[in-house]
């Protein structure tokens, strides 16, 4: 009977030979051929590492991937539920399923032991978002600091631009920081972005975001060539994901808004506000760059909830 083991010790390392034989060809395939984001590659790498250490601590031969039984993969899932949230577990198993599919196609394993492995159901939770009033409070934060003379003009306009692009364009953080001046069409007020899977789409940015962008470019940007980043630090280097996350937290605190909001939840707000204002689902799907309509449909639940709330307050028979 398989052992249930605790979290692998952090000081352990995967042998270089295993990395070269099993992991690196897989991650190279994800990054170079599938063009997955660095975050997906990182997450799938972590999934492999966790599973490898689980096999090692369980007394199994860690590289005997072709000898794994359905019972062993079920045991892994059961034990992993004690260490991971359900969504993280689903992501890990997705990564492992992809790993074994990769090697199955190359004849190195004879079956995918994670194909059809039962997983706990995901909790159905609606995406969190800010109301339009809350968004206004957030967006006016940088100007307040400038008016109070507690923040420099460069930082104020840069931060305004970050918030306006996240909300006005519905961009992912990775898409936001990757924007170059050559990606912006100043004539029609749109940006060309590369989303998940390196899929390109055109994002309208809105009149307000474009006005802030032009002001920042004209008064604060040092480098404005086609390959120069739009969003930069005070030293004019490209802004990082972490910097954007901290920036958003700063203005959430200033506006006394929920601190569990994140840059991605501004994207949720963007989608929800579009649907609440009458945009059709297919259009919102294209604007967000979702491959499947079902991914976008989660926002309709939020819109329906809002409609029910309005109905309950306004209808005499509610």
- As averages over each run of 10 residues, the pLDDT of the chain (318 residues) reads 43 84 95 86 95 83 77 91 91 95 94 91 73 92 94 96 92 92 93 81 90 96 96 95 94 92 86 80 75 65 60 62
CATH classification code of 132-314 = 1.10.443.10
Residues 252-258: contacts with CB under 8 Å, at least 24 apart: 252/138, 254/141, 254/144, 254/145, 255/134, 255/137, 255/138, 255/140, 255/141, 257/130, 257/134, 257/137, 257/138, 258/128
d(CA 272, CA 267): 9
The catalytic residues are: 172, 196, 264, 267, 290, 299
Which residue has 């969003």 as its token pair? 231
Domain boundaries, the chain: 16-105, 132-314
The top-level CATH class assigned to 16-105 is mainly alpha
pLDDT at 280: 75
pLDDT at 198: 74
d(CA 226, CA 224): 7
pLDDT at 301: 61
pLDDT at 316: 64
pLDDT at 180: 96
């Amino acid at each position: 009977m398989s052992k249930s083991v605790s979290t692998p010790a952090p000081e352990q390392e995967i042998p270089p030979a295993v990395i070269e034989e099993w992991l690196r060809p897989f991650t190279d395939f994800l990054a170079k051929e599938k063009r997955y984001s660095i975050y997906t590659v990182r997450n799938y790498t972590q999934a492999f590492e966790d599973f490898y250490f689980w096999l090692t601590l369980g007394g199994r031969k860690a590289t005997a991937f072709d000898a794994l039984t359905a019972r062993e993969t079920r045991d892994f899932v059961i034990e992993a539920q004690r260490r991971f949230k359900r969504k993280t577990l689903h992501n890990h198993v997705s990564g492992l399923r992809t790993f074994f599919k990769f090697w199955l196609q190359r004849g190195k394993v004879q079956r995918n032991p994670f194909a059809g492995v039962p997983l706990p159901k995901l909790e159905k939770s609606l995406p969190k978002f800010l109301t339009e009033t809350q968004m206004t409070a957030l967006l006016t934060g940088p100007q307040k600091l400038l008016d109070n003379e507690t923040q420099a003009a460069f930082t104020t306009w840069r931060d305004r631009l970050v918030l306006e692009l996240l909300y006005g364009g519905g961009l992912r953080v990775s898409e936001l920081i990757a924007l170059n001046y050559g990606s912006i069409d100043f004539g029609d007020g749109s940006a060309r972005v590369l989303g998940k899977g390196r899929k390109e789409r055109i994002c309208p940015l809105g009149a307000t975001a474009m006005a802030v962008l032009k002001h920042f470019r004209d008064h604060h940007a040092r480098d404005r060539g086609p390959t120069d980043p739009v969003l930069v630090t005070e030293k004019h280097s490209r802004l990082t994901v972490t910097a954007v996350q901290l920036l958003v937290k700063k203005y959430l605190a200033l506006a006394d808004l929920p601190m569990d909001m994140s840059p991605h939840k501004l994207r949720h707000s963007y989608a929800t506000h579009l649907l609440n204002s009458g945009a059709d689902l297919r259009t919102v799907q294209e604007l967000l760059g979702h491959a499947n309509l079902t991914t976008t449909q989660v926002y309709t639940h939020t819109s329906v909830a809002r409609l029910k709330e309005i109905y309950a307050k306004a209808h005499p028979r509610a």
